Structure 1
């Protein structure tokens, strides 16, 4: 089945809303595609142990890629103005993430550290973790996801600055190709005060990488 993408953004743009507007195959078509891949791998999709695999894989895809059905802007839509004079960064570190490499559709697993410097409003801290989750549950490159998280927080909350750091291990590098396990990839993105003020950027990096913390 041909899948046509409507209004695909040009390469330099970053998709930060809902997923692309495509004609999605039916569940039956998806299950048939899994059967084809099983046969391509060299096994019999009608073998007893594999009969339910297409259904299970399709159900797993609904969970793995739920981020396409969510809008990260909506996640941050409820904010609070009463901060009792608080004037410093808000940071969440060690946000666990599980995503899939868009090149091989193989998982990469790691942690995100996210901070922003509020202006006149803040968002519930769990919402920052939720933004990470929305973007992680899409086919991704780590670089793009890092930029998407930072841009979304920056656009919605309009803070003085945003800082995002992701550390992840990519199984497409661990179990295939060069086969180098436990090699971490680190990506960062900074806006506003975190980009303009080296002291604030250094402070974020220190908090994100500090070991032996409680």
Structure 2
């Protein structure tokens, strides 16, 4: 794919920038979603405070206050408990925890190198299923391949893309796809693979953190 080592280094630098750009877009989207969730939860609480059951509960608490002093404390605790339960039930339920994803940008690898990488990632999750590998590849031999425990995302290689879409930069395509994959799979890390030296199983295990 490349004739000179300098060309590989330059391409890797561009891919790393595009990958980082995509990851940052995903982080920004997550931040905006968190703000929307905060605002929605605040609106739910305000709506609860204005609701008829809440006002009725406050009225019952006020009516329960009499000279005996026993009724008010019991009624007050019950009313507060009911209000707390209603507030909790009104809030959206958190999503169940799942294994985080890690996006591997494996562009420019040979057919044999691509298959070796997929095999190593498959073995990696069999040894320690601490994440879901999501592999972005431009290797046609992997297109449509189903690998248990590994997600494969095919992109046309930069040369093919430039021939069909000469006005659109391939790095922009990569950044957009990375952002989408990070959103879809809640990826916590991105890794750009050097096509000259794809990682082995041993190196994948060493870089588990």
Verify same fold: TM over 0.5.
no
Larger radius of gyration: 2
Higher RCO (C-alpha under 8 Å, 6+ residues apart): 2
Q: TM-score, structure 1 length as denominator?
A: 0.22
